[in-house]
Structure 1
Amino acid sequence: MAAGIMIAVLAIYVGVAIVLIRYVKTEDDFYTMGGRGSTLLIVGTLAATYLSATTLLGIAGQSYAEGPLVISALGSFGAWIGTLLAVIYVGRKMKAYGSTTMPDFFDKRYNNKWVSIVAILIMIVGLIGYGVIQFIGAGIVLSEVTGIDYRWIVILFTLAMLAFTAIGGMYGIVVTDTLMFFTMLTISVVIAPLLIGQAGFEQMKGLAESLPGYWSIGGTEDRHIGWSISQFLVWILFFACIPALVSRVFPAKNDFVILKVAIIGVFFAPFMQLTVFLAAAAVRVLDPNITDTDYAMVTGFLDFTPPAVAGIGLAALMASIMSTASTLFVLVGFALSRDLYERLLNKKMNTRQSLNAARVGQIIVAIVVCAITLARPSAIYWISIYAGSIFAVGWLPTIVASFEWKRMNSKAAMASMIVGVLSFVGIGEIARLGWIQLPEGVDELMIALVFSIGILIIVGFSTKPNQYEIDYYHTMKATSMSKITIKEFLSKPDGLAKIKKQYKQIYTIAIIMTVITVAVWGYLFLMFGFN
């Protein structure tokens, strides 16, 4: 029954995507749904992408094994800070500058072929790594439910995802993501409380007696505080510039939608994660003998909830995987076709040819991701950290300096991106081989970030921006989403009244979400004795 419900829900998602193809008539529809994204749609797609296999399988598994606070106290907190930065800082600015994709920004900012190529390669490598996580998650869930061999499941899921992502581009993804978001909410508001209720708050707190450190930041492994801080930093830096989140801003109608999304996301991001982590601790009480911890939540659904609820939970888990995986397919397909092949190689294509090229790019990415997934090289959580760190050290310093520093130029951008990625990979591999010993609490991300920022500053002061880069910097400073939105509203009848109405809505939403947040977190703190 559980498998049947899961398959039925997933079939609905695919059916909706097929129906939405009629709305994809132009490249703008395919890449940014024509800028028609409402608050509901953008909140839905953002939250759906945020809650991926990393949370529901990888981090939930670590919460089961080591304790919920190892990640939720700092890592999850850093993740939603990074999400806020992705929405109101990086994404909002790039949308104002007319970017359709993130590589668009690099192209517009520097008008330099090699800067664009390096940026695109970082994006492709990072997203493929993050995509592998989703595919491993799909293989775990579906093989557990159906009994079909993991390898065949991965191959079948790859084919299904290709059919899903090639249909409607970003238009189809945003709408189906919103449907998936409401399915995912069942985990946080129905299934997690059900598992916690069966385990009992006292029994969950009692895990610390048999598992010392289970309810501490260090966890059962007694991790150094420096490790926890590094997780806090990596999730801020990663989420602030990952294309899967930043690109969610591009379809938004206007700046009011973006601000509302930021406010609502402050609540849903930590809420949806923390309830999952607590539910994983509940599963530890109910079944303390799960050896492959990536299966912890799947076991919780199948063994400790009614079949109908389990089916919805599995559908929600698969929705989180499909949402993130479909986004990555589309973004990398865009990068290969539109940003790399069409623009940088100066290949002139009409709308039909461009869309077909994007789909070919998705097929190429699918084959690569499928091959890596079949090997299943590491645990889900650690793959996510590695993929995320590439964006943190390769992109973020360059993006921030591109926004804010007048001396920033293509040479500094190239140096920062290349040195950041190579130092991260190089130091990490040397440390793993045992050739060097990193100080306790310091990892390769921190060192690589210092190198990336340091070389950016050195090259930036040693060279000068060209006239194009200076002119575009001033253009950016004179451009903002708020100005664009106000101008747009004032051009309509009763524009000023509509602006005032939008501001009132923002204040109202902020107050409501604050009250809900205090109530939810206050209740959890009291029940777990954190008061």
Structure 2
Amino acid sequence: MLFTLAIIISLVAYFIIGQWAGRRVRHVDDYMVAGRNAPTFVILGTLVASYASTSAFLGETGFAYRGYPFVMLIFAATSTAGCLIGALIFGRYLRRSQALTVPAFFGERFDSRWVQIIAGLTTVVGLGAYMLGVMQGAGMMFTEVTGLPYWMGLVLVWLTYTGFVLYSGSPGVILTDTLMFVVFTAAALGGSAYLIHALGGWSGVLTGLLDQSAKPGIALWHGVLSGDGARFHTPGEALTWGIVLGLVWAAVLATSPWQASRYLMARNEHVVMRSAMLTAVALAVFYALMMLAGAAVNLFKPDLANPEHAMVWAALHVLPAWLSVLILTGVFAAGLSSCSTFLSLIGFSIANDIMGSKHNDRRAMRASRIAILVAGLVTLGLALLQPPAVMAVVWFAATLFASSWGPVAVASVWSRRITAAGAGWGLGVGFVVNLVLSLLDQQGAIDLPVYLHPVLLSTVAALIAIVLASTVTEVRPKAQRYRASLHCDQPELERHWARGTAGIALFTAAAGVGLILFLWRNYAEALARLAPHYQLADSAVTGAYMLSAGFGGMLLIAGVVGFVAVRRRSRQALQSYSAQPEAG
């Protein structure tokens, strides 16, 4: 009863807060991009919240529970690099465009209504599938916790986020996202710390995982390699999976609509870079703790029928009541934040990008609200009809954008030769080929090795389509001028904001060093001390040291790259600014 009441109260609270945020919505800019005035902490909150959905709390911790906590750290080390890369090569230029949506940016950049429509269609289909998986995760957890029917949880979740998205649009989304970010971050840190401490710290968890025989290898960097439930069969296969999928998700973090669209709401492009670096730090800490906690649940309950319920089971049976409430409401918050983000983007794309609403502000907002309601009802119906598979659905839907949006997004800023036809064919081919190959792979019709993931093959197909279509068509003059305008720096902005951004870059690098030292001591050295007793191979210990260095090393590199990039732009801006009086 306590948990049911806590979840209901949290749903009501988010609904009220979201409604309150809508009081200041007056214009389309307010509704779709929150007036383009969001500060760093709010953009950080909405970036992490839209990424760390129920898939992270249920699907990915379930994968760690199955035997692969440290493979997930390989994945995370690679994927979080996409935060800063995306901000540097795409996000800050997207913010300069002042577009209402990312598809609208593509349409303006290539001077093509068709490119905008194609990008809008991929947004609706891809995010619709993603939202389906997240909703199902929330519904599963609701049933697990309350014992009430699955459909009831889906309807309550749907009513909550649809209610405030309809009224307040982006202001409600980013405000509730930020609050939810605080809640589920506290839940992740508190729940993970309690579980790990209860088992004697990292050394105690590692000892327990090495002692158990049901999942041999779960404490090693490559995870379980034998048995019926083994996902990988060689260390090389596990490493390849972690790196390949990490690169795929780096592209997702860099250019996907639910991540990149947050930058359109930022106060300026320095807020874009600051929030991106802090997002990388937050995600790295999240994965470092949550994945080990997911594996540690095996020491309390090694035979869960559904691994995706691992953290929910721990909340209900291991954690104290107050922390259980925090964890469960945190998981719900993660699901709500992602659903509200996806639903708002779907509605905006239907109204602005596909239908091309050119009415006044009031009519444009009404069109968006109708689109949001219809899209939400369709997704709710599908969630009720389809059997839940959280991680599979979410990872399938999210990676569609890596192959379709990734190449076009980068080329839109950095290529002078890509044409409207190239962009349109790149978006369409990358999306469709990925969709077809992924469905065939999931159905068992084809059996692709890890290094030939559908995303990689479809990205190559998209690049070929871009090159071929751009070769036989010409760049439009308006598109050339638009791209040139994106590369016009703002010296005055650099003078006032560069120092703070450089400081956050140094903080990011320092956080990377801290994570290296933390994992080196608590994982690699602890495993090295246990190696003689458990007769571990030298490669297992060496791999632990390399993982410890690589996990934090990505943050260290990101911080250094960010610092160098900011300082270089700052020097150029100061030179430009000092030369202005002479020019006059």
The question of a shared fold, defined as TM-score above 0.5 by the shorter chain, is answered with yes
Shift of 1:264: 1.8
Match for residue 294 of structure 2? 280
Match for residue 374 of structure 2? 364
Counterpart selection for 1:373 from 383, 407, 412: 383
- For 1:241 and 1:375, how far apart are their aligned partners in 2? 31
1:205-232 deviation per Cα after TM superposition (whole angstroms, max 9, x unaligned): 2424522231344422235143333212
**TM-align CA RMSD:** 2.2
Counterpart selection for 2:424 from 404, 407, 414: 414
- For 2:418 and 2:177, how far apart are their aligned partners in 1? 37
1:313-368 deviation per Cα after TM superposition (whole angstroms, max 9, x unaligned): 11111111111110011010000112222x2xxx5422222112111111111122
Shift of 1:25: 1.4
Alignment pair present for 1:509 and 2:519: no
Counterpart selection for 2:463 from 453, 458, 461: 453
Match for residue 219 of structure 1? 223
Which deviates the most, 134-143 or 153-162? Answer: 153-162
Unpaired segments ≥5 residues, structure 1:
490-495
- For 2:101 and 2:265, how far apart are their aligned partners in 1? 11
1:332-347 pair list within 5 angstroms:
332-341=346-355, 343=356, 347=357
Which deviates the most, 393-402 or 218-227? Answer: 218-227
Match for residue 537 of structure 2? none
Match for residue 47 of structure 1? 48
1:42-65 deviation per Cα after TM superposition (whole angstroms, max 9, x unaligned): 112222222211211111111111
1:370-424 deviation per Cα after TM superposition (whole angstroms, max 9, x unaligned): 1222234452111122112211111111121221111111111122222222222
Q: What letter matches 2:424 in structure 1?
A: M
3-state SS in 1 of match to 2:174: helix
Which deviates the most, 303-312 or 110-119? Answer: 110-119
Alignment pair present for 1:319 and 2:356: no
Match for residue 236 of structure 1? 250
Counterpart selection for 1:389 from 396, 399, 405: 399
- For 1:438 and 1:48, how far apart are their aligned partners in 2? 32
Counterpart selection for 1:290 from 299, 304, 307: 304
Asked whether the 8 Å contact 2:422–2:466 carries over to 1, the reply is yes
Match for residue 87 of structure 1? 87
- For 1:314 and 1:36, how far apart are their aligned partners in 2? 32
Runs of 4+ in 1 over 6 A off after TM superposition: none
Match for residue 209 of structure 2? 207
- For 2:186 and 2:440, how far apart are their aligned partners in 1? 44
Shift of 1:435: 5.4
Alignment pair present for 1:405 and 2:412: no
1:32-181 pair list within 5 angstroms:
32-73=33-74, 75-181=75-181
Q: What letter matches 1:402 in structure 2?
A: S
Q: What letter matches 1:207 in structure 2?
A: L
Match for residue 474 of structure 1? 484
Shift of 1:108: 0.3
Shift of 1:41: 1.4
- For 1:276 and 1:432, how far apart are their aligned partners in 2? 27
Match for residue 189 of structure 2? 189
Which deviates the most, 59-68 or 251-260? Answer: 251-260
CA distance 1:409–1:131, shift in 2 (3 Å): same
1:489-527 deviation per Cα after TM superposition (whole angstroms, max 9, x unaligned): 8xxxxxx5xx1xx43333433444444443344223312
Asked whether the 8 Å contact 1:42–1:248 carries over to 2, the reply is yes
Aligned identity (percent) is 26
Match for residue 522 of structure 2? 527
Asked whether the 8 Å contact 2:188–2:327 carries over to 1, the reply is no
Q: Figure out how many residues of one structure are paired with residues of the other and give that number.
A: 511
CA distance 1:372–1:525, shift in 2 (3 Å): farther
Asked whether the 8 Å contact 1:50–1:269 carries over to 2, the reply is no
Match for residue 564 of structure 2? none
- For 1:519 and 1:113, how far apart are their aligned partners in 2? 48
- Structure-1-length-normalised TM-score: 0.90
- For 1:182 and 1:252, how far apart are their aligned partners in 2? 19
Q: What letter matches 1:393 in structure 2?
A: S
- For 2:141 and 2:27, how far apart are their aligned partners in 1? 36
Q: What letter matches 1:234 in structure 2?
A: V
3-state SS in 2 of match to 1:395: helix
Shift of 1:474: 2.7
CA distance 1:439–1:252, shift in 2 (3 Å): closer
Shift of 1:12: 2.4
Q: What letter matches 1:187 in structure 2?
A: A
Shift of 1:122: 0.8
Asked whether the 8 Å contact 1:87–1:245 carries over to 2, the reply is no
Unpaired segments ≥5 residues, structure 2:
225-229, 527-543, 546-584
Alignment pair present for 1:11 and 2:12: yes
1:284-332 deviation per Cα after TM superposition (whole angstroms, max 9, x unaligned): 2111121111111111111111111111111111111111110011010
Asked whether the 8 Å contact 1:78–1:233 carries over to 2, the reply is yes
- Structure-2-length-normalised TM-score: 0.83
Which deviates the most, 314-323 or 262-271? Answer: 262-271
